[in-house]
Structure 1
Amino acid sequence: MTDTFTIESCNKDNIQKIVAGINEYNLSKVPALSDVWTPLEYVIKNQDNEEIGGVLAGIGYWNGLEIKILWVKQGYRNKRIGTSLLKYVEKIAKEKGATIAMLDTFDFQAEEFYIKNGYTVTGEIIDFPKGHKRIYFSKKLNNYD
């Protein structure tokens, strides 16, 4: 007898089952240092209360700071706003026990910015998107930055 399978679009219950399944497997291999995802999401505003930047990040099971998005509005770039956001989220993450930070960016976004802020390239996907590269970074977090 052969098994037959179907592939379908996910609903919320399917997504929860998939996440629970990979978490169960991962935690069977390496115990968690933290119970849950701790979101670290901050916005920065100008004197007119206008949102001019922000960071969406969080700390996962193994005390890693995962930076998903760091954005600064055009016209406010190169004024150390991005650096302020980055240093702030790193500081909060360290206070919460994070030992490493990780992220990815593209060469047309912020490659030099992250290098200037102490991040090390850990990998690249060349020609994605075509003519560019996606770059993966990490940085050890310690208490004497």
Structure 2
Amino acid sequence: MEWLRDHLLWVKEEYKRKGLGSQLLKYIEKIALESGATISMLDTFDFQAEGFYVKNGYKVIGEIADFPKGHKRIYFAKRFDY
């Protein structure tokens, strides 16, 4: 495997802002790295987890405006340099 494709990372509202999401993401990235991945790719919407992924080292690589109407879908990537 050369990449990690995160299709769904969801944390119940009562557990948000306690570091659990970042811990889960780091654990998934660790497994991917140990399996030979060099990059992680994912997407989200601007009303969901945009700031979370930026905070965790992901860079915006593209977006679709008005998808859904009035919002945007954002695509991220993160290279494993560690």
TM-score tier after normalising by the smaller chain length: over 0.9
Could you say what secondary structure the match of 2:26 adopts?
helix
How far is 1:134 from its partner?
A: 0.2
What residue in structure 2 maps to residue 126 of structure 1? 65
Distance 1:141 1:101 in 2: 8
What residue in structure 2 maps to residue 51 of structure 1? none
The alignment-based identity, stated in percent, is 66
What residue in structure 1 maps to residue 11 of structure 2? 72
What residue in structure 1 maps to residue 29 of structure 2? 90
- Of 33, 47, 59 in structure 2, the residue corresponding to residue 108 of structure 1 is 47
Could you list the structure 1 runs, at least 4 aligned residues long, displaced by more than 6 angstroms after superposition: none
Number of equivalent positions: 82
5+ residue gaps, structure 1: 1-33, 35-62
Q: State TM-score, norm by structure 2.
A: 0.97
Q: State TM-score, norm by structure 1.
A: 0.55
Between structure 1 and structure 2, the one with the greater Rg is 1
5+ residue gaps, structure 2: none
Q: Which has the higher contact order (CA 8 A, sep 6+)?
A: 2
